[in-house]
Chains A and B, each alone.
Chain A
């Protein structure tokens, strides 16, 4: 159970001010949706939290995980799992290898296999370990990407419009899947979207960003 707190005094690109005086915190198992038109800087906020903000951006702010300031840490040390609208499975690895890719090195091979098996089973992907990710359906790929993130034992889940490329039927079931998993793992979840339904489905608070006058 962890708490993610974000405070951004200002975030700008060139002389364009994107975000000003934004502060929020998310408890484990809770969700927060960031909404706003494209170009409003909502994806940049996620990049800032995960540590991937392009150096072209200027930002004053900080990220705390359980009260500890992690803003100076390298992305790989933050344990913030980032999901994009594309599942971005590694094409040269099987489904199982993709899932193992982020699992802690300390785990024994047996423990890894057990967790992978259990995760696949719980996602109605039983026996998919050796499958080629390229031959999965869109919904299956999305679920594998989420499982890969969860198995890396993250401290928080950051989702950048993860539903926008799924068709409406899949979108609904995947929303439920994500919400359920994040709550089970007691993870803080931050969702960036421009679809109000996404935000509603995740529950939790909803923040609108953008429309800062420069």
Chain B
């Protein structure tokens, strides 16, 4: 009975609060929030929003950074694929991208600050020798008014994700041979890729691209660290309004969150429109026929994978200054390395660090464990009783949290939780935060386990049945052990996802649950670089360690049963 209800339970657990959160954002935006004395619908919050001096600039910044980061990540990924598919370098690139996907946005952002800012490592390496600077120049490299450093940070994180999704889709297409055919018909690699492969690949990339666009428009943690401040992007501005001690700002914040959501929907629609236009106008482009590039064209083509290598290299390099700073005692400006080293920061932060680690691990453990139970129950129900959900497409609803931006419902959900007094107790706050993490862990657990479950050879179950075993016994004794690599992978990915969650932890926990994510972002505004480095490094290494463990454990567990994991 319980098993049959599992898929519905998952949907209710995900969708009900999501809907509630959206409603909780929408109502105060129109002045309705009884807890704060707003009991009639009016447009006052919108007038207030309209009159806000930096609104147009914030909005423009959000649109520009989000669109530029998405388009750039997409194009760079495609150029790199065009040049590297069917060559041994593709594998090397994917080896480089895998860790970057796992490292949280905030940790990468802090690393970039340490690397690129006027007093950053690169400047130290070339000063005073090459640059002539004895003190850091007062350039605005990080948090520049154009949001370029934010775009760079987003590209470093989103490009590997799009590469990964492209590769997953390419494995279902005859890409390598199509590329060969197109080249033997006289097309260069780039021409062959954009005319023959990309049009077949694109439909598989549409959803990931939408997710990247929605995410980039509404990102908070990275924008707090790398984005401009006066004014900030709209998402950050909304968070500021929400955290304002003046409670009336809640109405303004809700209106801002609704506006951001509308802008996002409009951008998605605009993207689809451009895509449709490109498809129509591009039909001729497909059959221009092969061309012979001139010499400079050939060089340009060969160089077209370089920006991707550069971005990935920068992403990995950004981790090094984190480690160096966390061990520095004294590091004056033009010195290439600290003049004195010490473990002092690790020692005097030990208690704060221990608490953040503890909270992070508890949240990761609870959300991953819970999500594993739910996913396994849903998949097992499906395997035994068939898939019978009320509507076609309800499958997709599970992935909704990945596409609906956090800013649009988390604020509203927190408002609801406050109104019902859930966040007054510590238990309530923890419950909310675990749910907030679950929302993002669950879809990834589904992705990681669904394929393994579907590929599970049904003849193994039939054999066990013919040997007289019942379904539960088969589940525990046959399926779970054989699926163990996929289960550990799902747990590893889940931990990595949970560790990155900043906004859900901050909002649903009322700012009272300190995790590695919240400490890293919280300490990024000024303060001691060495302390910041300690937290950022921990946040970067934890997902990494989780994924490595997830790969190693099944091999240890079944070291003498190669068939399980090979």
Instruction: Write the residues of chain A forming the contact surface with B, with a CB cutoff of 8 angstroms.
Output: 50-52, 54-56, 74-82, 84, 86, 88, 90-93, 97, 100-107, 112, 148-149, 152, 154, 158
Contact = CB atoms under 8 A, between A and B. Distances in A.
Nearest to B196: A90
Contact of B184 (A54, A82, A107): A82
A86 to B, nearest CB: 7
A146 B15 CA distance: 53
Contacts of B188: 74, 76
Contact of A88 (B87, B174, B288, B291): B174
A88 B186 contact: no
Contacts of B186: 76-77, 79, 102, 104, 152
B178 A90 contact: yes
Given A50-B184, A81-B184, A101-B196, A76 B178 contact: no
A93 B290 contact: no
A102 B180 contact: no
B185 to A, nearest CB: 3
B186 to A, nearest CB: 5
Contact of A77 (B192, B195, B292): B292
B199 A82 contact: no
A2 to B, nearest CB: 16
B184 A76 contact: yes
A148 B88 contact: no
A52 B288 contact: no
B177 interface: yes
In this complex, the member of B188, B286, B289 whose beta carbon has the largest number of chain A beta carbons within 10 angstroms is: B289
B181 interface: yes
A149 B286 contact: no
Contact of A92 (B182, B187, B199): B199
B171 interface: no
A17 to B, nearest CB: 22
Contact of A75 (B88, B178, B184, B287): B184
B183 interface: yes
A152 B174 contact: no
Given A97-B286, A101-B182, A104-B289, 4 more contacts: A75-B184, A76-B188, A106-B289, A154-B184
Nearest to B201: A92
Contacts of B292: 77
A75 B183 contact: yes
B185 A102 contact: yes
B200 interface: yes
A81 B200 contact: no
A112 B185 CA distance: 15
B74 to A, nearest CB: 18
B180 A75 contact: yes
Contacts of B184: 50, 52, 75-76, 78, 80-82, 149, 152, 154, 158
A103 B196 CA distance: 14
A93 B88 contact: no
B197 to A, nearest CB: 9
A102 B87 contact: no
Nearest to B199: A92
A15 B181 CA distance: 30
A158 B185 CA distance: 12
B177 A88 contact: yes
B181 A105 contact: no
Contacts of A82: 180-181, 184
A77 to B, nearest CB: 7
Contacts of A93: 199, 286-287
Interface of B: 86-88, 174, 177-178, 180-189, 192, 195-196, 199-200, 283, 286-292
B180 A101 contact: no
B287 A52 contact: no
B289 A76 contact: no
Contacts of A55: 87-88
A101 B289 contact: yes
B289 A100 contact: yes
A105 B291 contact: yes
Contacts of A80: 184
B187 A76 contact: yes
B174 A76 contact: no
Contacts of B178: 88, 90
A65 B407 CA distance: 63
Contacts of A86: 174, 177
10 contacts: A52-B183, A75-B180, A76-B189, A76-B192, A82-B180, A84-B177, A86-B174, A101-B196, A102-B185, A105-B290
B289 A102 contact: yes
A54 B180 CA distance: 12
B132 to A, nearest CB: 45
A101 B290 CA distance: 8
Contacts of B174: 86, 88
B286 A101 contact: yes
Contacts of A112: 287, 289
Contacts of B195: 101
Contacts of B182: 90, 101-102
A65 to B, nearest CB: 14
Contact of B287 (A74, A84, A101): A101
A32 B235 CA distance: 67
Contact of A152 (B86, B88, B177, B185): B185
B185 A101 contact: yes
A52 B187 contact: no
B290 A104 contact: yes
B280 to A, nearest CB: 13
A74 B292 CA distance: 11
B510 to A, nearest CB: 51
A90 B180 contact: no
A132 to B, nearest CB: 14
A154 B200 CA distance: 25
B93 to A, nearest CB: 15
Contacts of A56: 88
B200 A90 contact: yes
B88 A102 contact: no
Contacts of B200: 90-92
Contacts of A77: 186, 292
B92 to A, nearest CB: 12
A106 B288 CA distance: 9
A102 B187 contact: yes
Contacts of B287: 93, 97, 100-101, 103, 112
A16 to B, nearest CB: 19
Contact of A102 (B177, B189, B199, B290): B290
Nearest to A47: B180
A78 B186 CA distance: 8
B88 to A, nearest CB: 6
Nearest to A75: B183
Contacts of A88: 174, 177-178, 181
